[in-house]
Structure 1
Amino acid sequence: MSEHETTAEPGGEPTRRDFLFLTTGMAAVVGGATVAWPFIDQMRPDASTLALASVEVDVSSLSEGMSLTVQWRGRPVFIRNRTEEEVEAAQAVELAELKDPVARNENIPNAEATDLNRSAGEGMENWIVMIGSCTHLGCVPLGQAGDYNGWFCPCHGSHYDTAGRIRRGPAPENLPVPPFEFISDSMIRIG
């Protein structure tokens, strides 16, 4: 055995070789983490995406019959304070007349497409919040237009009623309702 070669006896003192194994292993762990971190970090959502995860909208200036379009997650969202006549017209529609009988409301999954299930809820039926992207090919429909005075997609002729339900045309589904809630009498949080 040479003077530089050392071995530890069972239960003996650690040797120079033990120290080198330990420090080499630690250097490998730190180096691996340093190399892997940029790949792991790039999988996190971008700050701009996180900022759009929810948006608060002041609707105090929307009187009856007015609409507002805001951006949420890069998509237009229609907010409308419907008139009493629009609410009554939407409530009068029989479910059997609808092309899509599902509400498509993320706040109440698997609900029927009644006007109440598409609106902000009991006592707030005049408020409707929907993603403003036609369910056919993603065009942005025009408001207070079409055969049902709701939304009309001029690109391919989809007609939605005042509750955002598809009534005629190639669109297969109702305009989706995003998760939203009134956090005060005049403020809506979407997302």
Structure 2
Amino acid sequence: MALENESVAADQGDPNDKDPNRRDFIHIAAGAAAVGAGVMAAWPLVNQMNPAADTLALSTIEFDTSKVLEGMQVVIKWQGKPVFVRNRTAAELQRVRAEGAVGSPAEPDSARTKAGHEAILVVIGSCTHLGCVPTFNAGDFGGWFCPCHGSHYDASGRIRKGPAPLNLVVPDYEFTAGSTVRIG
């Protein structure tokens, strides 16, 4: 009788044996199918988080800078934010170039404008301290002054005095044809 029990145990296999067998394959395949089904079920939820077509259409804006006279500034709206487009005078350009790399981070004026269009400055018109809109042609450095907490920016949008930690942000932009600028 002992021999019969041993032969039955040998036929069933060792329960501690780690070799994959048919049952393991079925478990792996079922698990992979469940994971695939979960991803397919979650895809519509993830896809709905992509921006709508009308939102993507507003992600860029074009503006003709020839409308901005020398020494003037125009405020346009892009993605719900004010954007300052400023046509700086020769005196302003001379002053900001002479100051060199200032602000936080320290940047020369040439790093904040496009080659061939140095007089045109494009910055997001939101103070980097708490998001107030600075006033044009005010402050101690001839640029912008934030009336909320007293930050002063120069004519290149670089922070010079006050609690604002960073320069005014220069958005991604390029000149497409002549004086037309595309922001975004």
TM-score band by shorter chain is: 0.7 to 0.9
Q: Provide the residue aligned with 2:171 in structure 1.
A: 178
Q: Letter of the aligned partner of 2:98 in structure 1?
A: A
Summarize the Cα distance change of 1:99–1:124 in structure 2 as closer, same or farther, 3 Å threshold: closer
**Aligned ranges for residues 93-104 of structure 1 at < 5 Å?**
93-95=99-101, 98-102=102-106
Gaps of 5+ in 2: 1-36
SS of the aligned residue for 2:67 comes to coil
CA RMSD, aligned part only? 2.0
Aligned to 2:183: 190
**Is the CA contact 1:99–1:172 (under 8 Å) kept in the aligned structure 2?**
no
Q: What percent of counterpart residues are identical? A: 53
Q: CA deviation at 1:38?
A: 4.7
Q: Which residue of 2 aligns with 1:134?
A: 127
Q: How many residues align?
A: 148
Query: For residue 124 of structure 1, what is the aligned residue in structure 2?
Result: 117
Find the partner of 1:76 among 70, 79, 82.
82
TM-score by length of 1: 0.71
Contact 2:100 2:109 in 1 (8 A): no
Decide which structure has greater helix share: 2
Name the aligned partner's letter for residue 58 of structure 1: D
Q: Secondary structure at the match of 2:49?
A: coil
The aligned counterpart of 2:96 is: 90
- Matches of 1:134 and 1:155 in 2, distance apart? 9
- Structure 2 residue aligned with 1:67: 73
- Unmatched 5+ stretches in structure 1: 1-28, 103-112
Q: 1:115 to 1:37 in 2, by over 3 A?
A: closer
Deviations 1:143-164 (A, max 9, x none): 1111111011000000000000
Please give the TM-score of this superposition, normalised by the length of structure 2. 0.73
- Do the aligned partners of 2:104 and 2:159 also contact (CA within 8 Å) in 1? yes
Q: Secondary structure at the match of 1:60?
A: helix
CA distance in 2, matches of 1:167, 1:42: 43
